[in-house]
Amino acid sequence: METHKQLTIGLFGFGVVGEGLYKVLQQTPSLKAELKKVCIRHPEKKRNAPAELFTTSKEELLEDPSINVIVEVIDDADAAFTIVSTALRNGKDVVSASKKMIAEHLEALLQLQQETGRSLLYESAACASIPVIRNLEEYYDNDLLHSIKAIVNGSTNFILTKMFEEGLDFKQALILAQQLGFAESNPKLDVEGYDAVNKWTFLLTHAYGIKAAPEEILFNGIQNIQAGDAAVARARNQQIKLVAQAQKLQDGKVAAFVLPQFVNHDDHLAFVKNEYNGVVIESGFADKQFFYGKGAGSFPTASAVLSDISALRYQYKYEYKKLYHHTPHELSNDLYLRVYVSFDNLDLIPRDQFAWIEEWHAQEERKYLVGVIAFGELKKNNWWREGNTSLILTPNPVIEDVEIRKLKKRSLELAGLV
Ligand code: HSE
């Protein structure tokens, strides 16, 4: 049996990640992977590698029978999908870092892997240096995965850290994240939560067998967070983080969302600063486990790409165990969330959509409330992301439907109405 396959690589992209990978490969001769060609879009740019390595012709890589691995680390999701699907069809294994492409084409990519029998690995596409996909895929292959709570976007975490702990303003912090190579070329993808929700879609597939398009998952970014919100967090000894969360409910379905959240000072995620990412997994019998590492940047991302390349030597493939070997879980809308909402204008807050409101702070410069609202109301409506309104989840925000029904029944009983 062939155990250590000789790898000949065609690389697409020589930006922050591509160049990082080039350097990392040079420092890992034991891998015995030959980088044969690099396809780039801008030949006029100066590159820190021999000129004969580069081409602008994608066919030179995709049609070369001696290249058996395509590594794709480009920025354009549509072009990436064409490259990845052609490579798989041409019998090559693929390593990709394109989270947007994977999230948007997950169904087609699953089919292509089945049809071609080739391997598509993308550990670097979520949480960069943290081996979260392979852990979800290999370790938690049972029904005991209760919840995952994670910081999956390095740029927003970097911006929040720099703003609220080091006093930079939003623009300065974002520019720094861009200069350090953490941010997407369109930073709106980071700031408004698109990058995080893209990553969350395929992490949900590996965790729970859920196949959801990014737009099916409730999400927002950090664009509406105000200085007043950070002051509330400080007063409560909490921090604000952009948290991706998935939690199994009593009916077996899964609640999943990506929203800013107040995090208690002793929560594992409070420890995650700057461009680091963190993943807290709760599973039966094991209680909590915490994974921590750099979630963005040239070498941390390249190190995950390298690990995927290395796994191809022994023909590693994702089996998508939760999808194909277990009964896949479904997403639920039957839950409530305890939320903090700060606002300028009370008239823009539809109070009737809340199940109940627990706190009113109308005297503060920045007014806010804390209340419980049906998940479905947030999914249907947009008031909470508009008009300078900021919605932040409270710690442990999920309230199950059954608990609400019990509470309602109890209050009716107390009122003598039943
Ligand atoms: N822009 C991404 C982030 C890069 O900040 O997390 C890593 O996926």
Using CA atoms, how far apart are residues 227 and 244, in angstroms rounded to an integer? 22
Higher pLDDT, 240 or 141: 240
**Is this prediction's pTM over 0.75?**
yes
Residue bearing the CA closest to ligand 1, atom 1: 183
Using CA atoms, how far apart are residues 32 and 234, in angstroms rounded to an integer? 51
Distance in Å from the first CA to the final CA of the chain: 72
206: which 2 tokens? 């590996």
Catalytic hit among 99, 162, 199, 322: 199
pLDDT at 10: 98
Using CA atoms, how far apart are residues 107 and 216, in angstroms rounded to an integer? 14
pLDDT at 322: 95
Asked if 184 and 76 count as a contact pair (C-beta separation under 8 A), the reply is no
- The pLDDT tens digits of the residues spanning 319-350 come to 999 999 999 999 999 999 999 999 999 999 99
Ligand 1 centroid from CA 133, angstroms: 16
Give the DSSP per-residue string, 42-106: -TTS--SS-GGGEES-THHHHT-TT--EEEE--S-HHHHHHHHHHHHHTT-EEEE--HHHHHHTH
- Please enumerate in sequence order all residues whose Cβ is within 8 A of that of 230, keeping only pairs 6 or more positions apart, or say none: 163, 164, 240
- The pLDDT tens digits of the residues spanning 357-413 come to 999 998 877 999 999 999 999 999 999 999 899 999 999 999 998 888 888 788 778
Instruction: Based on the residue annotation, tell me whether 162 is a catalytic residue of this protein.
Output: no
Helix axis angle for 154-166 and 170-179, nearest 10°, is 130
Give the DSSP per-residue string, 138-153: HT--STTEEEEEEE--
Q: Is the pLDDT assigned to residue 4 strictly greater than 80?
A: no
Using CA atoms, how far apart are residues 101 and 85, in angstroms rounded to an integer? 11
Q: What is the mean pLDDT of residues 199-206?
A: 98
What structural domains does the chain harbor?
Answer: 141-291 (3.30.360.10), 335-414 (3.30.70)
Tell which atom from ligand 1 comes closest to the C-alpha of 190.
1
- Please enumerate in sequence order all residues whose Cβ is within 8 A of that of 108, keeping only pairs 6 or more positions apart, or say none: 81, 85
Using CA atoms, how far apart are residues 417 and 373, in angstroms rounded to an integer? 23
pLDDT at 352: 96
- The pLDDT tens digits of the residues spanning 76-89 come to 999 999 999 999 99
Antiparallel, parallel or unpaired: β 54-55 and 218-219: unpaired
Ligand 1 centroid from CA 201, angstroms: 15
Ligand 1 pocket test, candidate residues 157, 188, 190, most atoms within 8 A of CB: 190
Q: Is the pLDDT assigned to residue 3 strictly greater than 70?
A: no
Asked if 153 and 203 count as a contact pair (C-beta separation under 8 A), the reply is no
Residue 339, SS3 per DSSP: strand
Antiparallel, parallel or unpaired: β 7-12 and 69-72: parallel
Ligand 1 centroid from CA 154, angstroms: 5
Using CA atoms, how far apart are residues 30 and 69, in angstroms rounded to an integer? 17
- The pLDDT tens digits of the residues spanning 115-138 come to 999 999 999 999 999 999 999 999
Asked if 383 and 253 count as a contact pair (C-beta separation under 8 A), the reply is no
pLDDT at 204: 98
Using CA atoms, how far apart are residues 272 and 165, in angstroms rounded to an integer? 13
Q: Is the pLDDT assigned to residue 218 strictly greater than 60?
A: yes
Using CA atoms, how far apart are residues 416 and 418, in angstroms rounded to an integer? 6
Residue bearing the CA closest to ligand 1, atom 7: 296
Tell which atom from ligand 1 comes closest to the C-alpha of 301.
7
Q: Which is nearest to 258 in space by CA: 156, 126, 151?
A: 151
Asked if 72 and 95 count as a contact pair (C-beta separation under 8 A), the reply is yes
pLDDT at 75: 94
Tell which atom from ligand 1 comes closest to the C-alpha of 99.
8
Q: Angle 204-126-205 (CA atoms, 0-180°, nearest 5)?
A: 20
Ligand 1 centroid from CA 6, angstroms: 31
Q: What is the mean pLDDT of residues 158-172?
A: 95
- The pLDDT tens digits of the residues spanning 223-239 come to 999 999 999 999 999 99
Share of the chain above pLDDT 70, in %: 99
Asked if 337 and 256 count as a contact pair (C-beta separation under 8 A), the reply is no
How many residues does the structure list for the chain? 418
